[in-house]
Chains A and B, each alone.
Chain A
Amino acid sequence: MSRNIVETNNLTRHYGNIKAVKGLGFAVQQGEFFGFLGPNGAGKTTTLSMLACILEPSEGTALIAGHDLINEPNEVRQIIGLVPQELALYPTLNAFDNLLYFGSIYGLRGRALRRRIIEVLGMVSLSDYSRKPVKAYSGGMKRRLNIAAGLLHSPRLLFLDEPTAGVDPQSRNAIFDHVERLKEEGMTIIYTTHYMEEAERLCDRVAIIDEGRIIALDAPHKLIADLGGGIIHLGVGQKIIDKTMLKQIRSLPQIKSAERLNGKYEIKTSHTKETLIHLLDFFKHTTVSITSLEILEPNLETVFLSLTGKQLRD
């Protein structure tokens, strides 16, 4: 029996002539914390919306806990919980009344519902504020309540769509704590973000997504290790990058590649510090001066940059 709770095959979504998501094929195991990392407009929310039965896929199939996404949407909806990117709360109602309504549409009622509301409010540390109208909450409190609403019906699979967007660092850490607790309790979570530190901290595996496609998928440490070192951006006092010099730089030890990028040298290396020493030594023996130096240590941001040539956050 498959341990996968999510399996997709060629999942695609068009908006008119635009393909927002192109042929995604991936699987998520039970109990896994799976991340989608990509810039704004990469297709993360669209992918989540399809898996949450909000948008119908234009092509492709998906199974959620063995249920077909297109033919059994109500079964899928019972299993999943969604924490949308927008704050999906009624601002004039208090937290309790918000959760009372959201719980009722999942079939929870009576004392069982009220007990569960108290439980989830405790999980997100909002028990003392349950009777205040949501519009009086801080941004972080609203985000936590947003998460609570997604947990009410004890879903097997939780979708968290950029849950820390627009939140101050303190609240962000509080949200991380809650989310990590869910992970420890064995919940399967699909998490989207454009912050690499969140993906590195929380995710068992990360799918890097750009322009609707998954361009890399593995555990964060493996993706970084595959990069094999860092990236150095070197600006020099040359109007036009010298091809001969480029060739010479490529021949230096531990340099994996060197290219011209926007008037600078982009040098990928397996050992950043040692390469830096070689480069400085090299330029000391030339008449060309170094005008700027940027060292990108190996992390998911660097991985994204090396794969796409773009920054993760614009």
Chain B
Amino acid sequence: MLYQIFSTTWKDIKILLKDWHGIATLFLMPLMFIIIMSTALQGLFYNDADKEPERIPVANLDQGDYAADAITALEDMEGIEVVTTWNNEVLTREAAEALVIEGEYPLVVVFPTDFSRQIEAREVNENATAVIELLADPAISTPYVAPIQGMVYSAAERVAETSIVESAVSSGLETIFAEVPEENRPEFTFEKTGSSIVDIQQISPPNMEAEFEPDTYQQNVPGYTVMGVFFIIGAMSTSILTEKREGTFRRLLAAPLPKPVLLAGKILPYYIVNLIQIAIMFTAGHLLFGMTFGDPLALAVISMALSAAATGLGIMIAAMGKTDTQVGGLTSLLTLTMSALGGCLMPTYIMPDFLQEISQLIPHKWAMQGFQDVLVRGYGVEGIMGEAGILLVFAAAFFLTGLRLFRFE
């Protein structure tokens, strides 16, 4: 009996070893996921000494000195690298807005022109407040903004208090008690009364205003929808493989059915399934969690472009996979890896720079950006045409590659 068990096991191992594509993807998939997720999320589990400092662009428009002092205090803080220039030029407000709009940085700190003046105004008006602007992408999550906001506030408030209040009062007291021996001088402590001198305001760049306050569902629903849409590639590939295996494909090849038409006929049902998937996911997000839709036409355009990319990839995988194991392995590897790299599982702005560069080559990233343009940044059809266009380029590339590789015989 043991011998029969061993013989059967060995037979199946031999069969599996012949399918090296399937084996490679079965082992590659978890490995890729581990590497990407660990690299992308390293910021959440870092050892202080190991972490790369967070680069914060700062535009100093202040006509006084207090902003410069605050920036110096910020630079002294651990974990931060302050960037005050871009393309070898000092950051201006326009440059700061461009950095956020173009996605180079999710936020930029702006010290306005009257920052120092506002701090000095506190001497005569205890309610005067010097405002620092946090120019941020509306889609950025609060857990990312809050620590930066806190550090900027801390640095700026310390400078303001030290510079204005303490030194002025201490200087006055020195003058008053100059003749009194030190041992007889009264002790003075400073208590902060009234409101903070510094205030931080988060604002969006022009034309990037969020119509509604972004919520967690506007991050998660598009993320998991995009991931889910690409699972279609497994269903498509398996369907084509089954047709080939069951012989119906042979009958279709003998029929007056052009090959591109044959493939298009395989794509269309899954394209429709994708659109229904997206509609259901977003409707569920709205009904269950109150997620808002934004411009429905813009949403439809992104959805159609996304579905084209997903089904195009399905054809390509169907052309590459020769067995069910290969198809299953490729599907899992690609859907999970691309979802992770494309920002479906975590925002791309928390990833290291090189992963953010790689994400540009992933259709998921453009789909996520498109959805968030509509849901969070309030863009209409015109605003998402770029992302939709890129998704259609992916769709064309996948389909043409699949057509080239597809074995019709």
Chain A residues within CB distance 8 Å of chain B? 52-55, 74, 77-78, 80, 82, 84-91, 102, 105-107, 149
Contacts and interface: CB of A to CB of B under 8 A. Distances in A.
B252 interface: yes
A86 B246 contact: yes
Contacts of A91: 246
B192 interface: no
Interface string B238-261: 000000001111111111111000
B50 interface: no
Contact of B254 (A77, A89, A90, A107): A77
B256 A102 contact: no
Contacts of B257: 77, 105
Contacts of A82: 250-251, 254
B409 interface: yes
A84 B245 CA distance: 13
A273 B252 CA distance: 52
Contacts of B247: 84-89
Contacts of A149: 251
Contacts of A90: 246, 248
Contacts of B252: 105
A87 B409 CA distance: 17
Contacts of B248: 88-90
B256 A86 contact: no
Most chain A CB neighbours (cut-off 10 Å) among B250, B255, B258? B255
Nearest to B252: A105
B238 to A, nearest CB: 14
Interface string B132-174: 0000000000000000000000000000000000000000000
Nearest to B250: A84
A146 to B, nearest CB: 9
Contacts of B246: 86-91
A74 B256 CA distance: 5
Contacts of A107: 256
Instruction: Tell me the dominant secondary structure on chain A's binding face.
Output: loop
A212 B355 CA distance: 56
21 contacts: A52-B254, A53-B254, A54-B254, A55-B409, A74-B256, A77-B256, A77-B257, A78-B256, A84-B250, A86-B247, A86-B250, A88-B247, A88-B249, A88-B250, A88-B251, A89-B248, A90-B248, A105-B252, A105-B257, A106-B255, A106-B256
A80 B257 CA distance: 13
Contacts of B251: 82, 84, 88, 102, 149
Most chain B CB neighbours (cut-off 10 Å) among A86, A87, A91? A86
A30 B249 CA distance: 28
A4 B252 CA distance: 26
B256 A54 contact: no
Interface in B234-285: 246-258
A105 B251 CA distance: 11
Interface of B: 246-258, 409
Closest 7 pairs between A and B when the two form their complex, measured CB to CB:
A86-B247, A88-B247, A88-B251, A82-B254, A77-B256, A52-B254, A54-B253
B240 to A, nearest CB: 14
Nearest to B408: A54
A105 B261 CA distance: 11
Nearest to A78: B256
A53 B255 CA distance: 9
A205 to B, nearest CB: 23
B234 to A, nearest CB: 19
Given A77-B256, A84-B251, 5 more contacts: A54-B409, A77-B257, A82-B250, A84-B250, A86-B247
Nearest to A51: B254
A86 B251 CA distance: 10
Contacts of A105: 252, 255-257
Contacts of A77: 254-257
A54 B256 CA distance: 11
A285 B287 CA distance: 103
A53 B250 contact: no
A77 B251 CA distance: 11
A90 B409 CA distance: 19
B373 to A, nearest CB: 41
Contacts of B258: 74
A149 B258 CA distance: 19
A290 B250 CA distance: 52
A78 B255 CA distance: 7
Contacts of A74: 256, 258
Contacts of A85: 247
B176 to A, nearest CB: 97
B148 to A, nearest CB: 57
Nearest to B265: A105
Nearest to A86: B247
Contacts of A53: 253-254
Given A54-B409, A55-B409, A80 B250 contact: no
Most chain B CB neighbours (cut-off 10 Å) among A85, A88, A89, A102? A88
Contacts of B409: 54-55
Contacts of A102: 251, 255
Nearest to B256: A77
Most chain B CB neighbours (cut-off 10 Å) among A54, A80, A82? A54
Most chain A CB neighbours (cut-off 10 Å) among B246, B249, B251, B409? B251
Contacts of A52: 253-254
A167 B123 CA distance: 103
Contact of B250 (A54, A78, A106): A54
Contacts of B249: 88
B268 to A, nearest CB: 14
A83 to B, nearest CB: 9
Contacts of A86: 246-247, 250
A313 B253 CA distance: 30
A279 B301 CA distance: 89
Contacts of A80: 254
